[in-house]
Amino acid sequence: MDKIDELATALARLPGIGPRQAKRFVFHLLSVPSAERSRLAALIADLGARVHQCPDCRRFYNPASPRLRRAGGTDSEVCNYCSDSRRDDGLLLLVEKDQDLAAIERAGTYKGRYFVLGGVLTLTGKGGIREKELIAILEKRIRNGLKEVVLALSATSEGEHTTDHIRLMLAPYRDLIKTSLLGRGLATGSELEYSDAETLRAALSNRKET
């Protein structure tokens, strides 16, 4: 395979990018000054070294003082959410990926801890976290005061599959921790006429006195 196609194939692995757009990316990159390509390549190559994965919540974050970290720090340094003592250790919110966590933070009302599954939960850990690992993490957190796990997966069939899987996994811990699901109902912009029966049933049973 030639170099144009080789790069196009690599770029086509980016989420939402097909072979055609990947090829446009290659020709775009060919058209820019080589310094811009070098800079992009450096940013990609260094990404893992410069961005840290928090050992506690597994989210990716930019360490506040990378210089200090590189000098004396260790890879066990936790992120700002995990090190924030004002956050509630009794609550743990599980999300699928970093952008979901960012969306919850933007909402601005959640003050507990997070955990990023990093993909689908599997027995092998390929493409996400291994079931055994997740259990070990939760057991440790239960010893440290965890009272409720919030399963904050998307309201899609994939998200519901993961939710069901984790609920089953957590069943033996029922006496120690509560498990909760995000509330269902009308999302902003939903019109009644076009809402599905499941959403309307949830909206009716979750109705709020005013």
Q: Within 6-25, which residues bind its own copies (CB under 8 A)?
A: 6-7, 10-11, 13-16, 21, 23-25
**Is residue 60 involved in binding its own copies (CB under 8 A)?**
yes
**Is residue 136 involved in binding its own copies (CB under 8 A)?**
no
Question: Considering only CA atoms, which of 77, 85, 72 is closest in space to residue 56?
Answer: 77
**Is residue 201 involved in binding its own copies (CB under 8 A)?**
yes
Measured CA to CA in angstroms, residue 141 lies from 88, 134, 146, 149 at distances of: 12, 11, 5, 10
Answer for which of 69, 147, 165, 167 binds its own copies (CB under 8 A) is: 167
What amino acid occupies position 77? E
Contact code string over 99-118 relative to its own copies, x by CB under 8 A: xx-xxx-xxxxx-------x
Alpha-carbon torsion (45, 50, 56, 60), positive or negative: negative
**Is residue 122 involved in binding its own copies (CB under 8 A)?**
no
Q: Minimum distance between the CB of residue 67 and its own copies, rounded to whole angstroms?
A: 13
Residues 174-193 that bind its own copies (CB under 8 A): 178-193
Q: Sort strands 88-95 and 112-116 into parallel, antiparallel or unpaired.
A: parallel
Cβ atoms of residues 166 and 201 within 8 Å: no
